[in-house]
Amino acid sequence: MYLEIITPEKTAFSGEIQLVQVPGTKGSFEILNNHAPIISSLQAGRIRYITSNGQEKTVEINGGVIEAKNNHITILGEFV
């Protein structure tokens, strides 16, 4: 899967991942390979993702939007 985390200022991350967990406004959820298409709003919280080489990374956000389709995930957010 390919993940892009974009802020108004820059692209914070762009690369291959194994999974991503996000703080959805209706509850946290995780996206794995071949997830059904989804668009969701995000609340303040932590984005957690594992890169293709197994490194776990986290990013704090104030809110945003996520879109996942065809193993391409885009997160538009404002960081803390």
pLDDT of residue 79: 85
3-class SS of residue 39: strand
Question: Do 26 and 45 touch, CB atoms closer than 8 A?
Answer: no
pLDDT of residue 76: 97
**Helix (H) or strand (E) run with residue 71 in it:** none
Closest CA to 35 of 18, 48, 47: 18
Position 46 pLDDT exceeds 80: yes
Give me the residue spans of the domains in the chain: 2-79
Closest CA to 37 of 15, 79, 66, 9: 66
pLDDT tens track for 19-44: 999 999 999 999 999 999 999 999 99
Position 80 pLDDT exceeds 80: no
Identify the CATH number of the domain defined by range 2-79.
2.60.15.10
pLDDT of residue 13: 94
Percent of the chain with pLDDT over 70: 99
